[in-house]
Structure 1
Amino acid sequence: MINLSDVTVIKNKIDILKNVDWEVKKGEHWSILGLNGSGKTTLLNVINGYLHPTYGHVEVLGELFGKTYIPDLRKQIGLISASIQQQIKDFESVLSIVLSGKFASIGLWDAVEKTDIEQAQSYIGLLNCEHLQDREYGTLSQGERQRVLIARALMAHPKILILDEPCNGLDIISREELLKIIEELSKSKDCPTLIYVTHHVEEILPCFTHTLLLKNGEVFCQGLSKELLTEITLSNFFERPVAVQIEQNRTWIALKESLIQN
């Protein structure tokens, strides 16, 4: 699904990404964990073809960058991000927003058929947004907007769905409701490969069986989530001693008391 080999991105003589090797296979769901400034956004821009690496090779869905038409490839990649959310007009209805996902457009400019409306309504139902169908985007809460954007992305039947810090700005109840929906989505028959980007360990759901730890533009480590999300690895990763607790098959961390006292 994704294959990066020795990918390096240099800006103003600074390595934003450095020698990144990463492979995502079909059937896997990955989380990308990193603090602010770790290179997560740059990595996503490379995968989506918005940014070309200075060095290295990028292959997505079997297409080698430099030898493929990127705009067509992007139609197979769903992206949920703050930048997409900011482009949508407040007066647009939820149904029209979801329908626009079929055409990968901001705003609905193309004619739709009855089957398109039925498909959009099915995704609206999947994301528990039936009661929002006729509401204007500007009246929605942050959590409701994220669910609508996921439904919109699914309309294009993407093979990869990237969720870029979707819980930012959500209160704990809205966050847990959205995470529950993502977990349920992962169990659906036609679920695309999920890539979940975050800087909060507790958001890594059981469905994300693999995790990439990104630090200062480099791969700190990668592999099975249950093997990486340990006290030793995370303490080394954050360069702070952390305590780890497993609750409902999710990893929760806290700075150790001795560090807080100091």
Structure 2
Amino acid sequence: MNAPAVLHAQDVEVVRDGRPILREVSLTVRAGEHWALLGANGAGKSTLLGLLGALGHPTRGTVDVLGRRVGRVDLRELRSYVGHVDPRHPLNSPLKVHDVVLTGLTNTVERVPRQAPTSEQLALADRLIGLLGLGDRRAARWPTLSQGERGRALIARALMPSPRLLLLDEPATGLDVAGREQLIERLDTLQRTCPDLASVLVTHHLEELPPGTTHVMLLRDGRCLASGPADAVLTSDQVSKCFGHPIRLTRVDGRWNVRSGRPAGAGIG
């Protein structure tokens, strides 16, 4: 029996200034599934993720988030049920990690004055901070954090309202190898710890996919090139078509590796 649908997009199109960004894209994400949206820059990945996170409306087609139709409900209320992680979080003040995580309760950048969290909420924040590998950085202030630590703090923040859906927009952007691997390790732990949580991750680097990725959509020029279980979609042939370059794809210990499919020594022209 299929798990309940958390997200459902049907024949979605987005047109901006007369230019199509997404064309006839359909996607269903069920509880416990972990999707990746893959494609080259400009393929429409972040635009689609924004629709799935109730950040905007499609030009045509329908989007249902947690059983609610985008366009028929208050988007601000709907967004409160979705954990949306944006690495470009606009925090400028030197909040401590614990306080940054607690802002997830109010979906605000800063702590809301005169709104004290409960003891249960404080304990949840501590558990999430530990789950994301930041236990020893609980009192560290935002400006002192590495890019990787900030990203993991924002994931903990997004999980504070106990959402059924987690959206991650290129969470490994700007990370060095160590930061990327720490992030992937914690995402993998999160997926195993929260079996009913669904997630959608945007990236254009297959090396950034956690081993627990269950499904993939390949986007090219705003259209869905392929969609379905990860092992069926992530083939050398389909990934080569998606990125417009011959690619050789392998998987070792649950992680994907990419190499050029062009024979060694072959010319570029």
* TM-score bracket, shorter-length normalisation: over 0.9
Q: Which runs of 4+ in 1 moved over 6 A?
A: none
C-alpha displacement at 1:90, in angstroms? 3.9
C-alpha displacement at 1:190, in angstroms? 5.5
Q: Tell me, in whole angstroms, the C-alpha distance in 2 between the residues paired with 1:233 and 1:189.
A: 31
* 1:91 corresponding residue in structure 2: 94
Among candidates 105, 119, 122, match of residue 102 of structure 1 = 105
The structure that is helix-richer by fraction is: 1
Gaps of 5+ in 1: none
Q: Tell me, in whole angstroms, the C-alpha distance in 2 between the residues paired with 1:8 and 1:244.
A: 30
Q: Tell me, in whole angstroms, the C-alpha distance in 1 between the residues paired with 2:199 and 2:148.
A: 19
Q: Tell me, in whole angstroms, the C-alpha distance in 2 between the residues paired with 1:82 and 1:126.
A: 19
* 2:57 corresponding residue in structure 1: 52
In structure 1, give the amino acid aligned to 2:94.
F
C-alpha displacement at 1:115, in angstroms? 2.0
Among candidates 207, 222, 231, match of residue 226 of structure 1 = 231
Which SS does the other structure have where 1:187 is aligned?
A: helix
* 1:145 corresponding residue in structure 2: 150
Which SS does the other structure have where 1:251 is aligned?
A: strand
Q: Tell me, in whole angstroms, the C-alpha distance in 1 between the residues paired with 2:182 and 2:40.
A: 24
Which SS does the other structure have where 1:258 is aligned?
A: coil
* 2:3 corresponding residue in structure 1: none
Residues 1:179 and 2:184 are matched in the alignment: yes
Q: Tell me, in whole angstroms, the C-alpha distance in 2 between the residues paired with 1:57 and 1:7.
A: 6
**Preserved contact between residue 83 and residue 166 of structure 2 (Cα < 8 Å):** yes
Q: Tell me, in whole angstroms, the C-alpha distance in 1 between the residues paired with 2:40 and 2:18.
A: 22
**Preserved contact between residue 5 and residue 22 of structure 1 (Cα < 8 Å):** yes
**Preserved contact between residue 185 and residue 191 of structure 1 (Cα < 8 Å):** no
Q: Let me know the Cα RMSD of the aligned residues.
A: 1.5
**Preserved contact between residue 31 and residue 197 of structure 2 (Cα < 8 Å):** no
* 1:68 corresponding residue in structure 2: 73
C-alpha displacement at 1:226, in angstroms? 0.4
Q: Tell me, in whole angstroms, the C-alpha distance in 2 between the residues paired with 1:51 and 1:10.
A: 12
Among candidates 16, 32, 40, match of residue 21 of structure 2 = 16
* 1:203 corresponding residue in structure 2: 208
Q: Tell me, in whole angstroms, the C-alpha distance in 2 between the residues paired with 1:216 and 1:66.
A: 25
Paired residues, number? 260
Residues 1:258 and 2:263 are matched in the alignment: yes
In structure 2, give the amino acid aligned to 1:4.
A
* 1:214 corresponding residue in structure 2: 219
TM-score between the two structures when normalised by the length of structure 1: 0.95
Among candidates 133, 140, 143, match of residue 135 of structure 1 = 140
**Preserved contact between residue 248 and residue 261 of structure 2 (Cα < 8 Å):** yes
